[in-house]
Structure 1
Amino acid sequence: MRKLTAIAAAFLTILVASPGFAQSELKIMAPAGPGGGWDQTARAMQQALITSGLVRSVQVVNVPGAGGSVGLAQLINSARGDGHQLMVNGFVMVGALLTNKSAVSLDQATPIARLTEEVEVIVVPASSPIKDAKDLAAALKADAGKVRWTGGSAGGVDHITAALFAQAAGADASKINYIPFSGGGESLAALLGARVTAGISGYGEYEGQIKAGKLRVIGVTAEKRVDGIDAPTFKEQGIDLVIANWRSVMAPPGLTPQQRDDLIALVDKMAKSQPWKDALKQKGWDDALLTGDAFASFLQHEQQRVAGVLKSVGLVKP
């Protein structure tokens, strides 16, 4: 009997020490206000983790400000060594940290995983003489300032896409004429009113007007054609442009190797769970899972690429 009791105790110790049991409670920070993309991602994670039985309790907290810079500072300065905390972030934060001249950087946090991505589309009004990527490239090379772009905030993924297109087309990216709007509705109105030449966003933002025949997609920023979007990639058209608006999760600095591995394993299991797959389908997000060192390498590359683009358009000084 004593031997059986000892075996049972040893087995229980192994269970309690396993990653699934170690993460009995978790905090996920969304470094933005409620309702946005980062907040939606955090709450979808919360639901998937609990429904899958991977974590007993998940708290989502919102820490808005400066494109995520405020939340990142809190993660770095106040949560060091906390293996029960994650922060949602993404492409937008990379540019925001640079343009806001943030005192903290993503290099100070612990990369865990990239979760989702959404490719961009470039559209023009249906009445536009620009029919494809080559026409747009030719217009830019003739006079970059005359091509009026619209999209989201300055320094964001839409702005960077415009600059990368100009560079790939052989035009001067520092002369692009980009008109940012905080809301998709304003950008759409400018396009439909032919007050701008081209618009950039995720496909979903323009889908209704595309299907109604009022906007024309001239290209997709994906590596290969995207199901459901009847348009070629830019690479197919001879423009070397691939970019996506991705979202990911980071952890605080100062974690032990075991804490880091446990969090990576936890997020990996969540991302492969049925509740998470259901959330992706419901929200129209593309699965882009990349974990651990592979994600850390990707993040370094994206930071370098974004810094180069923002310098080329004058938003960040060399």
Structure 2
Amino acid sequence: MKKFGIAAFVAASLIAPMAGAQISELRIMAPAGPGGGWDQTARTIQSTLQAEGLVANIQVENVAGAGGTIGLQQFVNRSSGDANATIVGGYVMVGAIIANNSNVTLADITPLARLTGEYVVVVAAADSPINTAEDLAAAMRDDIGGVTWAGGSAGGVDHIAAGMFAKAAGAPPEEINYIPYSGGGEALAAILGGQVTVGVSGFSEFSSQIEAGALKVIGITAAERQDYLDAPTFAEQGFDIDLQNWRMIAGAPGITGEQRAALLDVIGTMAASDSWNAELATKGWVNTYLAGDEFAAYLQEEITETGAILKELGITE
């Protein structure tokens, strides 16, 4: 599982997209509910493409459920050969396909580009008795079933992060009480409402409530502290966890090479734009742009590695 940073962004910036890239219409499926990372990704793509004048008409559609596999199924069934149809996804979907034994996979669509990377944070409500990673570890060692985690889909990066923490804490990861939610808004409501012990997701999904003081950060899955977040890493608290989520955009199955190239041209222009990178900075996302055949090869590596991790953590058999 590769980590990304400034070097990846610099390398990406050297890939110069064709000047004047533009298409007339684009539809983006976010295979999750409103408020989550995929929804935010789709709508940030939408606003940037419009601001940069790269696409005249853009629509975003949400189809939630099963870690994106319900939306993926609909996308595959109805979009074959449609050059104007795209779908966002990422590492979460890789794990969800494996965990749900989905009958559609990422091999059924046309990978275009990895766009962003984001570290995972674990948070608790402001009035929670859990304040540190050691507090959380002690609670899990005492009663692992009594510690409930709100996160994204089963088998996704949130689930993996919870499993990695349990393992580092000396608790059996296969016994974690993990509750998957199809949208970031639902998970947030559960955390704030005291229905779960902690929540786990990307920083961007919790940022407003962290800034407002309604949530406190127990730890972040980065090797070093991040400029956008005044909170400790798990590593500095003695728990060796280094995990980064990534998000992508893909095209429909059955599109031509020319249609794929046109989409890549527009997406590449967007990824290099000032407006896109300004948006990323506000959300704590890193520009990890990787496109075309290189991204397709990377995706295959991630599928293989994720399957092994899910088995190791007892999330799948």
Q: 2:6 is matched with which residue?
A: none
Superposed CA deviations along residues 212-249 of structure 1, whole A, max 9, x for unmatched, are: 77765332112431113222322334433223343320
SS in 1 for 2:253: coil
1:35-74 equivalences in 2 (<5 Å): 35-37=34-36, 38-55=38-55, 57-62=56-61, 64-66=63-65, 67-74=67-74
Q: Structure 2: any 5+ residue segments left out of the alignment?
A: 1-16
- RMSD between superposed Cα atoms in Å: 3.7
Paired residues of 2:125 and 2:214 also in contact (CA < 8 A):
yes
Q: 1:9 is matched with which residue?
A: none
Question: Displacement of 1:165 after TM fit?
Answer: 1.4
1:14-33 equivalences in 2 (<5 Å): 23-32=22-31
- How far apart in 2 are the matches of 1:169 and 1:238? 9
Superposed CA deviations along residues 67-99 of structure 1, whole A, max 9, x for unmatched, are: 432432344344344444321223333343334
- How far apart in 1 are the matches of 2:168 and 2:95? 20
Paired residues of 2:22 and 2:53 also in contact (CA < 8 A):
no
Percent pairwise identity: 42
Paired residues of 1:116 and 1:285 also in contact (CA < 8 A):
no
Question: Displacement of 1:103 after TM fit?
Answer: 1.4
- How far apart in 2 are the matches of 1:262 and 1:306? 31
- How far apart in 1 are the matches of 2:179 and 2:47? 37
1:168/1:42 CA distance change after superposition, 3 Å? same
1:256/1:235 CA distance change after superposition, 3 Å? farther
Q: 1:287 is matched with which residue?
A: 286
1:20/1:144 CA distance change after superposition, 3 Å? farther
- How far apart in 1 are the matches of 2:131 and 2:70? 43
Q: Structure 1: any 5+ residue segments left out of the alignment?
A: 1-17
1:161-310 equivalences in 2 (<5 Å): 161-180=161-180, 182-190=186-194, 196=197, 198-203=198-203, 216-281=216-281, 284-292=283-291, 293-310=293-310
The number of residues matched between the two structures is 293
SS in 1 for 2:248: strand
Question: Displacement of 1:154 after TM fit?
Answer: 4.9
Question: Displacement of 1:302 after TM fit?
Answer: 3.8
- One-letter code aligned to 1:229: L
Q: 1:79 is matched with which residue?
A: 79
Paired residues of 1:271 and 1:277 also in contact (CA < 8 A):
yes
- One-letter code aligned to 1:60: Q
1:80/1:61 CA distance change after superposition, 3 Å? same
- How far apart in 2 are the matches of 1:131 and 1:160? 21
- How far apart in 1 are the matches of 2:51 and 2:110? 26
1:87/1:211 CA distance change after superposition, 3 Å? closer
Q: 1:114 is matched with which residue?
A: 114
How does the TM-score come out when normalised to structure 2? 0.73
Superposed CA deviations along residues 7-55 of structure 1, whole A, max 9, x for unmatched, are: xxxxxxxxxxx96667432323214477444344333323322332333
SS in 2 for 1:183: helix
1:47/1:126 CA distance change after superposition, 3 Å? closer
Task: Say which is worse superposed, 37-46 or 205-214, in terms of deviation.
Answer: 205-214
Paired residues of 2:203 and 2:284 also in contact (CA < 8 A):
no
How does the TM-score come out when normalised to structure 1? 0.73
- How far apart in 1 are the matches of 2:134 and 2:215? 18
Question: Displacement of 1:266 after TM fit?
Answer: 2.0
1:237/1:314 CA distance change after superposition, 3 Å? closer
- How far apart in 1 are the matches of 2:103 and 2:234? 36
- One-letter code aligned to 1:270: M
